[in-house]
Amino acid sequence: MSNYHIKHLEEYFSVYRKSVRDPELFWSEVAEEHFMWRKKWDQVLDWDFDKAEISWFKGAQLNITENCIDRHLYTRGNKTAILFEPNDPKEPAIHITYRQLHERVSKFANVLKDQGIGKGDRVCIYLPMIPELAVAVLACARIGAIHSVVFAGFSATALSTRINDCGAKMLITSDGSFRGAKSIDLKGIVDEALEDCPGVAAVLVAKRTHAEIHMEAGRDHWLQPLLDDAYGDCVPEVMDSEDPLFILYTSGSTGKPKGMMHTTAGYMVYSAYTFKNVFQQKENDVYWCTADIGWITGHSYIVYGPLANGATTVMFEGVPSYPDYSRFWDIIDKHKITQLYTAPTAIRALAKENLDFVTSHDLSSLRILGTVGEPINEEAWHWYNDHIGKKKCPIVDTWWQTETGGILISPIPFVTPTIPTYATLPMPGIQPALMDENGEEIKGNQVDGRLCIKFPWPSIARTIWGDHQRYKDTYFSAFKGMYFTGDGALRDEVGYYRITGRVDDVIIVSGHNLGTAPIEDSINEHPAVAESAIVGFPHDIKGNALYGYVILKETGEGRDRDNLRKEINQVITEHIGPIAKLDKIQFVSGLPKTRSGKIMRRILRKIASKDTSNLGDTSTLLNPEVVAEIMKEAL
């Protein structure tokens, strides 16, 4: 029996039992068997959920890039590590072998060093999905700098907030980016963001669109000439197991985004372990995860997990609709993709299009299909299963979070029998618990509750950068001695988990986490807006869309409503990015509030979802009359 690679259901159960009975033994065996250490650990696990303190493999030393690159050079030097598929299908794809990746990462790492970046420094990366993005991430890890990738669809304000929060000294970006038929002025956004970021001393700029851009003398440097001059070998920095590897921001239900900090050894072990099992990776596979490296899915399952296993991982620059809706299927056919990992929102969008887009391509190379980021509805699951997997490819519905670093609940393909909409069983080492509203654990099956995890796993985030108290309050105070996920789940009669959605004020739109409070804060910046409340409502493609209830100031009352709607969405785009735009905006004279002044979002959600037959208990409302008015004018 191998702890590392599970191949049968009985093996899963026996590995799982072992992982719960003796987690330290289990993870130390996995870590020992499959990774390269400069020094072994003195202690496998040290933890205290009450203080929100967790360390794995204490005292160990390593460099994650040695595990992701160097150790493959002997056996896989000429194997493709990264397969880059550009936005424009007429441009050739690029195969970067492990040997070439080693050289590119080393050169980039030397450039960073020449620019004065060293261990512990924060480097913000704001790049489109081009090879430089993966290389920059790995170059930071090579020298022990902490990368913080910001999704290149975020606005200047969102970028500067993140840069300042993590105290980045350097920013890596490009002249522009291609997205379908559009080209985006990324550097313009960067210039605007940096007006508010005095701490950024240097900007490295990759060339992609060849657009004319402003280069700030003394601050901005073209990347390529620096790489051309750099030495092609870079001795990896020896890191402690708990040294930070990266910071990645995720929305909270309130306040500014949370910089989730992940550390080196535990993250490496868990992302690699789950990649191997959830995608049943084999040596000649060509694995494609369609996420952006700006999200955790890209960190763990485009870069670190696949590379730690010596896999071939595809990076796609474009969008599923360009040049037409067959692009995904074309890429699968062209590169003979074996595993496709994507989001339900993409599946729903593609399922709406003519089936000819699919049937005109040979998808027979596919072996495993995956989904992530939001619950998948049955209809989308069946479409994926019937038309893409041809009923031969197991679908792994993987549930996890930015905070968890890796997949926590998921079928293991060809091992765990799947059921549509169920994430099924916990990965080895994961001990889920369902909790009731009184903080008691709900035992047994056929129950639902709030999903917590009882015991640490190696890739749990260690803190929120600069705000450990918030980390403790957000994840470890709702239920004593447990990590609280913010999700609801049910456990069926055989113990399978089905994630039912967020139980807090985070809304998942097209697979992206959006906190309501930050959107409300940005809307309230509009001079005509007095107050607002955002809720989610079901949407055919996005899963959820956003519905805003807005109270205008007197100055806004006489204004054209459609123009105001546009302006409000413009303000959101500037503060956060287009992903947070509202689908519907209803102007109201008041919001339903409790006597203590809290907005009763439950009612607003029902109205937005057109589910008003039973509004529930409204007896604690201060202003019940406003509900009737809102219902009457609902969009």
Residues at the interface with ligand PRX (CB under 6 A): 250, 296-297, 372-375, 397-402, 423, 485-487, 499, 502, 508, 513
Among all residues, whose Cβ is closest to ligand PRX?
Answer: 402
Provide the minimum distance between the beta carbon of 486 and ligand PRX in the complex, in angstroms, as a whole number.
6
Provide the minimum distance between the beta carbon of 509 and ligand PRX in the complex, in angstroms, as a whole number.
11
Angle between helices 98-114 and 131-143 (to 10 degrees): 60
Provide the minimum distance between the beta carbon of 359 and ligand PRX in the complex, in angstroms, as a whole number.
27
In the complex with ligand PRX, the residue whose CB is nearer, 375 or 426, is 375
Question: In which region does residue 537 sit, left (phi positive, over 0), alpha (psi from -120 to 50) or beta (all else)?
Answer: beta
Name which of 400, 442, 423, 433 is nearest 496 in CA terms: 423
In the complex with ligand PRX, the residue whose CB is nearer, 297 or 569, is 297
In the complex with ligand PRX, the residue whose CB is nearer, 487 or 567, is 487
In the complex with ligand PRX, the residue whose CB is nearer, 238 or 419, is 419
Provide the minimum distance between the beta carbon of 484 and ligand PRX in the complex, in angstroms, as a whole number.
11
In the complex with ligand PRX, the residue whose CB is nearer, 299 or 335, is 299
Instruction: Cite the beta strand spans of 12-145 per DSSP E.
Output: 43-48, 53-58, 61-62, 80-85, 94-97, 122-126
Provide the minimum distance between the beta carbon of 609 and ligand PRX in the complex, in angstroms, as a whole number.
18
Provide the minimum distance between the beta carbon of 506 and ligand PRX in the complex, in angstroms, as a whole number.
7
> 420-429 burial by CB neighbour count: b if 16+ within 10 A, else e?
bebbbbbbbb
In the complex with ligand PRX, the residue whose CB is nearer, 112 or 296, is 296
Which residue reads 């699919």 in tokens? 358
Residue 511 CB contacts under 8 Å (≥ 6 apart), including other chains: 343, 344, 345, 372, 373, 374, 543
**DSSP line for 376-405:** PPHHHHHHIIIIISTTTS-EEEEB--GGGS
Provide the minimum distance between the beta carbon of 372 and ligand PRX in the complex, in angstroms, as a whole number.
5
Tell me if residue 410 falls in helix, strand or coil.
coil
In the complex with ligand PRX, the residue whose CB is nearer, 489 or 627, is 489
Name which of 541, 458, 484 is nearest 262 in CA terms: 458
In the complex with ligand PRX, the residue whose CB is nearer, 11 or 448, is 448
**Tokens encoding 368:** 């495993």
Provide the minimum distance between the beta carbon of 559 and ligand PRX in the complex, in angstroms, as a whole number.
36
Provide the minimum distance between the beta carbon of 251 and ligand PRX in the complex, in angstroms, as a whole number.
8
- Please, which contacts does 104-107 make with residues 24 or more away whose CB atoms are closer than 8 Å? 104/131, 104/135, 104/227, 105/65, 105/69, 105/135, 105/138, 105/139, 105/142, 105/234, 106/139, 106/142, 106/230, 106/231, 106/232, 106/233, 106/234, 107/227, 107/230, 107/231, 107/232, 107/234
Provide the minimum distance between the beta carbon of 406 and ligand PRX in the complex, in angstroms, as a whole number.
9
* Cβ–Cβ < 8 Å for 154, 249: no
* Cβ–Cβ < 8 Å for 151, 580: no
Q: Which amino acid is at 186?
A: L
CA 420 to the chain's CA centroid = 22
In the complex with ligand PRX, the residue whose CB is nearer, 110 or 424, is 424
Start-to-end C-alpha separation, the chain: 58
In the complex with ligand PRX, the residue whose CB is nearer, 402 or 569, is 402
Residue 48 CB contacts under 8 Å (≥ 6 apart), including other chains: 54
